[in-house]
Amino acid sequence: MSTLRYGVIGTGMMGIEHIENINAIDNAEVVAVSDPNDGSLAEAVKRAPGARAFPDHVELLATGEVDAVVIASPNHTHRSVLEDVVTAGVHTLIEKPLCTTVDDCLAVIKMADEVRAEHPDQVVQVGLEYRHMPPVARLVEEVRGGAVGTPRMVAMREHRFPFLVKVDNWNRFSVNTGGTLVEKCCHFFDLMNLVIGERPRRVMASGAQDVNHRDEVYDGRPSDILDNAFVIVDYPGGARAMLDLCMFAEATHNQEELVVVGDGGKVEALVPEGVYRRGRRGENWIGQVHSEHVDDGHIAYQGLHHGSSYLEHLEFMAAIESGAGAPVTLEDGLWSVAMGVAAHRSIDEGRPIEMSELLPVPAGDAQHGQE
């Protein structure tokens, strides 16, 4: 394809990450950047020296000089920015989470459907890049190929460091992020749906803010983001999934551990170790499973997420070139957010949450967009 001209909206940590990934792709170029923060905008210009800089994304769009836009602005701005970008008809990669609330996600989907008649080839993709981490992608591929038989149990653990400092400390408040289980964990909820191949029926959770940011106060408001939780998700077909999140567990070997078990065996993906394991019932025994290091020779820039953002851009560009539509849809983004919202509500109200309480269609009626 000819060189894809990118604009990047929001040039904090993730915006810079996207710029560096785009810089590593031969047929892509960052031609415009926008951010209301002078320091963030200046850093973006350093990373993309030929790009025009704008304090407002509306000015960037008005130039008509971009083919595609990455939205990496703070979570609570996503709906308003998306409305401008999608209406402009440019291809869009929106960082996770899609929005901070279910209502905002639904409004964005409705708006995109209305715009589609005018821009039928427009690709609007949600940046759930964990799908592309090589060992995780291998796990998904193997499960779909029958490696475990029918998946019955999915367990995902993220034991990591606390939230990083962001511009104006916007990520210290749930009203801005959607809450930890939306902001951080929508990746894992998306993977659960992807592996099991269904939409969830019920979510129950327990979590708290026990260690991190408890002494942080900004403009008289104490930080209120959770730093640990357990979440259990039930699916219509009887499968279940679990998330174990701890954000004061940086003294660890692997940050992410993903496990899928079915009636035929078990598979695992370990990150950042980059290991994939597979065991078959009747063929392998404890300690004797297949284990291999998984890499992807196509990754030209590893970045902050083990090359997954680079692969995500290749997929995004391929969708634009082929006209096949977004491989990670707005509906995928909606469900990953809704599961996080349900988990927070479960914690707050001390009860399981039926997904039908949050979405206008019964959970389980809509099959996964990838199936």
**49 and 172 share a domain?**
no
pLDDT at residue 1, as a whole number: 62
Could you tell me which residues are beta bridge partners of residue 339?
A: none
Low-confidence ranges of the chain (pLDDT < 50): 362-371
In this structure, is residue 345 part of a structural domain?
yes
Residues 175 and 266 in one domain: yes
For position 119, which CATH number holds? 3.40.50.720
Which of 91, 109, 127 corresponds to the end of one domain?
A: 127
Per-chain mean pLDDT for the chain: 95
Quick one: 58 and 89 in the same domain? yes
Instruction: Name the residue among 318, 335, 164, 309 with its Cα closest to residue 343.
Output: 335
Q: Is residue 176 part of a domain?
A: yes
State how many domains the chain has: 2
DSSP label at residue 15: H
Closest CA to 279 of 91, 81, 142: 142
Same domain, 135 and 275: yes
DSSP string, 278-322: EEETTT--TT--EEEE---TT-S--GGGTTHHHHHHHHHHHHHHH
63 shares its domain with 149: no
Quick check: is 305 in a domain?
A: no
- Does residue 233 sit in the same domain as residue 104? no
Same domain membership, residue 214 and residue 110: no
> How much is the pLDDT for 280?
98
Residue 369 lies in a domain: no
Write down the number of H helices and E strands in the chain: 11, 17
First-to-last CA distance in the chain? 28
In a domain? residue 313: no
Looking at the fold, whether 104 and 137 belong to one and the same domain comes out as no
Domain containing residue 350: 130-298+329-357
Shared-domain flag, residues 42 and 172: no
| 318 within domain boundaries | no
Q: Tell me which residue has tokens 């589609």.
A: 116
Tokens of 181: 């289980």
pLDDT at position 361 is 56
Residues 94 and 137 in one domain: no
Domain-located, residue 320: no
Task: Please tell me whether residues 31 and 102 are part of one structural domain.
Answer: yes
Read off the pTM.
0.95
Torsion of CA 88, 90, 95, 98, to 10 degrees: 50
CB atoms within 10 A of CB 332: 24
Last residue of a domain, one of 64, 95, 127: 127
Under 8 Å between Cβ of 347 and 174:
no
Parallel, antiparallel or unpaired: strands 265-271 and 256-262: antiparallel
Do 194 and 283 belong to one domain? yes
Which of the listed residues 127, 161, 180 is the one where a domain comes to its end?
127
> Do the domain assignments include residue 208?
yes
Burial 219-257 (b: 16+ CB within 10 A, else e): eeeebbbbbbbebbbbbbeebbbbbbbbbebeeeebbbb
> For position 362, what pLDDT does the model report?
45
CATH code, domain with 186: 3.30.360.10
